[in-house]
Every structure is written in structure tokens, then in C-alpha cells.
Amino acid sequence: MHTQYSSSHRKKNQPAFTVKGVCLKGMLIQAALLLSACSTLGEKSELDVPFKDAQFRNQTTTNQDATVVESTANLTQGTWWEVFGDAQLNALIKDAIENNKDLDAALARLEASQASLDAATASLFPTLNFSTTRTKSVVKGSAIQGNVNNTRGFTTSAQFSASYELDVWSRVRASRQAANLQFQATAYEVQAAELSIAGQVATAYIQWQAAQLTVQQFEKEVADFQTNLKLVEFRFKQGSIPASDVLQQRQLLESSLGNLALAQANKDVIANSLNLLTGRPPNQLKISPLNALPVPTTPPPLGIPADVLQRRPDVQQAWAQLASTDQSVAAAMAARLPQLTIQASFGDQVRDSEFLFDNWVRNLSINLLAPLFDGGARAAEVERRQALMRQAIAQYQQVSLRALQEVDNAWVQEDGQREAVQSLKKQIALAELSLNRLFAAYRSGGANYLAILNAQQSASALKRSLINAQQQELTFRIALYRALSGPIQQSNTQAQ
């Protein structure tokens, strides 16, 4: 039983109905209004109006090669990282999903939500209790010739009792359905957390590989600058160049040594991030470096925005949360109506326990509890839950809009980054050609050494920029995969 999304949900201070009287007629009017308001959830298309005409920047891919087909299949299964073909990355993500402490906390929340659902389900069934009492009594008697004769005795009583609420207005069922939908929302939360952790591991792994390549680049620069320093010192001893050329080369070498130390520290910090993501203390992982960063394959087709929203667990979480809140509104409305309860008991009370239940008493009653006056507490609770539902609607729409934005942003950023990478490769080729010609001219005495220093610094900076640009391109691809991906199928946290 749901409440419809009508204009009353859009107005802050307009409850579904208000109790003005306490007569039976007023209660019947309440019941009629409740039954009309608790039919089905309003059309989902009405809530999807803000993004019903959404379009991605590129919704078609003309080159449907094998990599595109493979990446699409991996996105559907949630295992998008397997597209990179890196066994080490696959193992790290598997390790993180099994051992990450944030995921452990999310799973604990799922278990708590399951317990809440079990408790709500129990309300659908009768309650049965048993009680027993044994009482000792002493009755003071009269005194005869100085002796007091007291009467002592034991009384034993036992009773079975049962009660069951007739869910006339579906309050209990609505509460149970709200708990069930909340459990589903928590399950989707776990799935979204798994995808987030996988994305963080993949990003940190690529960052570590880029940091390792940066360290290697600085090591190569140090070796090259040391070789150049020997050449400069040799020419200085011959009197061919001034001492300033030697000092400038030494300063450049020291600068590279300092940058090398910082790069090494940055690599170790990223490694500790991977340790944390996989549930380990610092300095535990042993990662094998790659010779080069992987080259992104053909981008996957973005598909239809509605399909992306249907696939993403964070969007489904927001929708389940909204539906749960809707059921809570229905339960709050039903709580304003009379409650009908059947109670039964079977018991006896005797002085001798051997005769217990020989003369038993059986009671059966039907109780009607009608709220007449509560100071507006129940009406206020309905308004509170309706406000929470308006909040859930806004959150669902915001999550959906953000999901579409993430897809489009990742596509645009990767596309621009790809062009930047190609530009840097061309710049490096030109810088190295310029540096080689300057060195040739310097050896023959036809070039100023300051120009060589500037060319060396420029070429080195471009090579490091290329590593960073390639790493950023892969980061954008990871973001695109995450934005398009469905839940990880290996997960044991599917919504029930």
C-alpha cells in the first residue's frame, strides 16, 4: 500500500487530512481518505520529468570492435576493471572487496536492516505468552492457651495468552513493506560501495604505476644530468667555458635529486592508500611496476540515459529509499484510525498444583482502540513523514541528475585528455630534437649553455607531464566505467 504523489506532497504545510472531530462519522471519513490515498505509488515517469529528455554528448559508437563489445559486457556485469587485462589489478580489487573495512561496515548495516525487516515481519503474526506464579500465603490465627495457629498455603496460577491485531487499515503491512524497501536500499548501498571501492583501488593503482614511472624518469634525468655535468666540468678544465656553466649544471642536478626524493615519497603514500583500501596496515603490499601505463581501449558506448539510471545501484538505492518513505507515510496515516485487536487467554489458579487446569478459565475479547484526542501528535507525525518523502523525492532526482552528469563529464574529460596526450608526445619529440641540436652546437662552441639548460628542463618537464597526462586519461576512463557500471555480479548483497 502506497501513498500517491499528488500536489499535497509538494506543499510544505498541507497534510493529507486533518482530524476535526472525534465522532464515528469523522473516523469513517478518515478511513475513506486513507484508502483513497494509499492505492499505488504515483507514476515513476512523473518523478523522472527533470531528466526525461536527457541525452549524452555521444550516444553512439560507430566502431563496434571487440574491445567495445567486451567493455560493454563487463559494464553490465560490474567487472569493468577486467577490460585493462591486468591480473595484478584484478587481484587487488578482489582483495579490497573481501577485506575493505568500509565495506565491512556497510555489510553490518545490511545485517541490521535485515533484523529490522524480521522484526517488522513478526508484527504480521499473533503473539503468544505464558505466565505462571506460585504464591505462599500465611493467615494469622487466634491464640489458644498461648499458642497461635497460623494457616499457611500455596497458590499456583498459570495462563496462556495470545493477541493479534487485525490489520484493517494495512498499517502493519505498510510498516513491514517500508522495512523491506529499506533493506533493499541498504543492499543497493552495499553494491554502490563495492563499485566505489573498486574505482578507488583502480585509480590508486594507476596513480602508483604513474608515480613509479615518474621516479624512473627522475632517475634517468639524474643520470643524464650527471653525464652532462662531467662534460661541462671537462670543458671548464680546458678553459673553454666559464665556471657559471658548471654551477648551473650542478644546480639542475640538485633540483632533480630533490624532485626524485619527493616523487619516491609520493609513490610510498599512494602505496599506503592501496594498503588501506585492501584492509592492510602500511607497507604490506608488494606491487610489481609496469613498463608503461596501459593504453585505453575504444571508449564504451554511453547508451541511453534511462538504461544507465536503471543499472546504477546508487540510483536504485535512492528509489528504494523513496518507496520506503512512501510506505512510512501510509503507516502513519493508518495509525490515526482505530485499531482492532483480538485477545485470548486460558488459565487457572489453584491451591494444589496437581489440579492445575482442572477448572480453567478461558477468555476471548475483541478490543477497539480509537484515538480520540492526542494533541495533534499523530497528525504531526503524518506531516513529518510527508516532508521526509518530499525530501526523498528531491534526493532521488538529484542522485539521478548527478549520475547522468558523471557519465557526460567523464566522457568529455577523457576526450580532451586524449588530445592533450597526443599534443605532449609531439612536444616531446620537438623538444628532444631541439636539445640534440643545441648540444651539437655547444660542442662546437656555437651555443650558449643557458639555452641547453632551459631545453633540458623543458624536455624533462614534458616527459613528466606526459606520464601525468596518461595517468589522468586512465583516471577519466575509470570514472566513465564507474559511471556506466551496474552492480558487481559476484556480490552476495543482492536486494531481496
Residue 467: which of 247, 289, 309 has the closest Cα? 289
- How many CB atoms are located within 10 Å of the residue 116 CB? 16
| Average pLDDT estimate for 298-326 | 90
Higher confidence at residue 5 or residue 221?
221
Residue 60 has pLDDT above 60, yes or no: no
Residue 334 has pLDDT above 70, yes or no: yes
| Fold category of 7-124+169-336+373-484 in CATH | Outer membrane efflux proteins (OEP) (1.20.1600)
| Average pLDDT estimate for 247-275 | 93
* Exposed / middle / buried, residue 121 (Cβ in 10 Å: 0-12, 13-18, 19+): middle
Grid coordinates belonging to 148: 497461635
- How many CB atoms are located within 10 Å of the residue 249 CB? 23
| Average pLDDT estimate for 189-195 | 94
* Residue pLDDT, tens place only, 123-160: 999 999 988 887 776 666 565 565 656 566 677 777 88
pLDDT at position 62? 46
pLDDT at position 200? 96
Residue 357 has pLDDT above 80, yes or no: no
pLDDT at position 187? 94
pLDDT at position 383? 94
Residue 24 has pLDDT above 70, yes or no: no
What is the residue extent of each domain of the chain?
Answer: 7-124+169-336+373-484, 126-166+338-370
* Residue pLDDT, tens place only, 408-460: 999 999 999 999 999 999 999 999 999 888 888 877 777 777 888 888 889 99
Edge-to-edge strands of the sheet including 127-139?
127-139, 151-166, 339-350, 361-369
Q: What are the φ/ψ torsions at residue 102 (nearest 5 degrees)?
A: -65, -40
pLDDT at position 191? 93
Residue 5 has pLDDT above 50, yes or no: no
Name the CATH superfamily housing domain 126-166+338-370. Outer membrane efflux proteins (OEP) (2.20.200.10)
pLDDT at position 68? 55
pLDDT at position 302? 85
